[in-house]
Structure 1
C-alpha cells in the first residue's frame, strides 16, 4: 500500500482551492465556503469528536453542490450551511454549559460558538452588500479563519491536525483568488 506524503493536506488544500477558483466568477461566490469552514469546526466542538471533521467537511461540500445543482429554489447554499449550525447549537450548548471547564480536546465551547457566529455573520453579510464589498468580506473572513486553522493546528485539539492544515491552505489560497478576481474586475 502506498503511503500518503506527510503533508498531504497541503496538496489537497491546493487542489480544492483550484477547484473553487475555477468555478468562481465573483468573490462572493465563496461565501458558502466561509460558512462551511466555520460549521466544520463548530460541529466537531459540539459533538466533542475531532474525528468528525472530515465527514462534516465532505457533508458540507455535498450540501453546497446539491443546493447549487438543484437550484435551491433561489436559496444561496450559505443559508443552508448556516441553518445546519442550528442542530449543532441545540446539541452542543447544553453540554457546553454543563461542563465549561471540560479538559481538552473538548473545552472552549464558547469560543467555537463565538467563532461560528462571527464567521457565519461575515458570510451572511457578504450576501447582502455589493459584490465587491461582499468579496472583500469573504476574503477577510477566510483569512481570519486561516488564523483559526493555524491556531488549531498548533494546539492539535478540537479538530484533527490534517483538517486544520488542509483548511489553512484552502482558506489562504481562496482568499488570495478572491482578491485577485475582485481587483481585476
Structure 2
C-alpha cells in the first residue's frame, strides 16, 4: 500500500493532485484578470482575502476559511459582473460582525489568532475601500500592493501552519501574486 502511494506521489498525476491549490489559484487569478476593465475592480478580492482568514480565526476552525472563500467568491463574482453591485462594504460589514462573534466564541487568545486576523482585516478592508473610491490608476496600485502584502501573509501562514489550512494559504498565495501582477499590468496599460 505504501509503495503504491509513493509511486502515485512521484508520478506527474500525483504531483498535480498535491498541487491543486496552485492550479486553482492560477485559474481564479487568470479568470479575474480577464474580466477587469481597471485594476480597482479587484478591490473586493483584497477584502475577501482578509475575510477568509478572519473566518477561520473567529470560529476557531481552520476549515471555515474555505467556506468563507466560497461565500466571498460569489460576492466578488457579483461585483465583477455588470450588476453595479459593490461587495467591498458588504464583506467589511460581515467581517465586523464575524469579529464580534469571534470575540464571544473564541476570545482574544492566542494573540496570533483573532486579534492579528482582525487587524489584518482592518488594513485590507481599508485598502479595498480606498481602492474602490480612488481613481482607476491609484485604485489599481493600491489593490496590487495589498495583494502582494497579503501574499507574504499567505507564505507566513503556510510556513507556520497557523489559522488556515495550508491548502488555503497556498491557493491564496498563488492567487494574490498572479492577480497582483495582472492588476498592475491592467492598471499601467490602460
- Give the TM-score of the pair, scaled to structure 2: 0.86
2:35, 2:80 within 8 Å by CA — same for their partners in 1? no
Partner of 1:100: 109
**Residues 1:67 and 1:14: Cα distance change in structure 2 (over 3 Å):** closer
Q: How far apart are the structure 2 equivalents of 1:70 and 1:172?
A: 25
Matches within 5 A, 1:30-49: 30-49=42-61
Q: How far apart are the structure 1 equivalents of 2:162 and 2:102?
A: 17
Partner of 1:138: 143
**Are 1:77 and 2:82 an aligned pair?**
no
2:59, 2:105 within 8 Å by CA — same for their partners in 1? no
Q: How far apart are the structure 2 equivalents of 1:94 and 1:56?
A: 19
Give the number of the structure whose alpha-carbon radius of gyration is greater. 2
User: Structure 2: 5+ residue runs without aligned partners?
Assistant: 1-12
Partner of 1:149: 154
**Residues 1:140 and 1:70: Cα distance change in structure 2 (over 3 Å):** closer
Q: How far apart are the structure 2 equivalents of 1:180 and 1:92?
A: 38
2:39, 2:140 within 8 Å by CA — same for their partners in 1? yes
Q: How far apart are the structure 1 equivalents of 2:70 and 2:177?
A: 19
Partner of 1:90: 100
Deviates more, 1:83-92 or 1:117-126: 83-92
Q: How far apart are the structure 2 equivalents of 1:164 and 1:101?
A: 20
TM-aligned CA deviation for residue 99 of structure 1:
5.0
TM-aligned CA deviation for residue 101 of structure 1:
3.7
1:89 match: secondary structure? helix
2:132, 2:139 within 8 Å by CA — same for their partners in 1? yes
TM-aligned CA deviation for residue 63 of structure 1:
2.3
**Are 1:57 and 2:69 an aligned pair?**
yes
Q: How far apart are the structure 1 equivalents of 2:147 and 2:79?
A: 21
1:68, 1:77 within 8 Å by CA — same for their partners in 2? no
TM-aligned CA deviation for residue 144 of structure 1:
0.5
Q: How far apart are the structure 2 equivalents of 1:108 and 1:65?
A: 28
TM-aligned CA deviation for residue 88 of structure 1:
0.6
1:14 match: secondary structure? helix
**Residues 1:179 and 1:112: Cα distance change in structure 2 (over 3 Å):** same
Deviates more, 1:107-116 or 1:40-49: 107-116
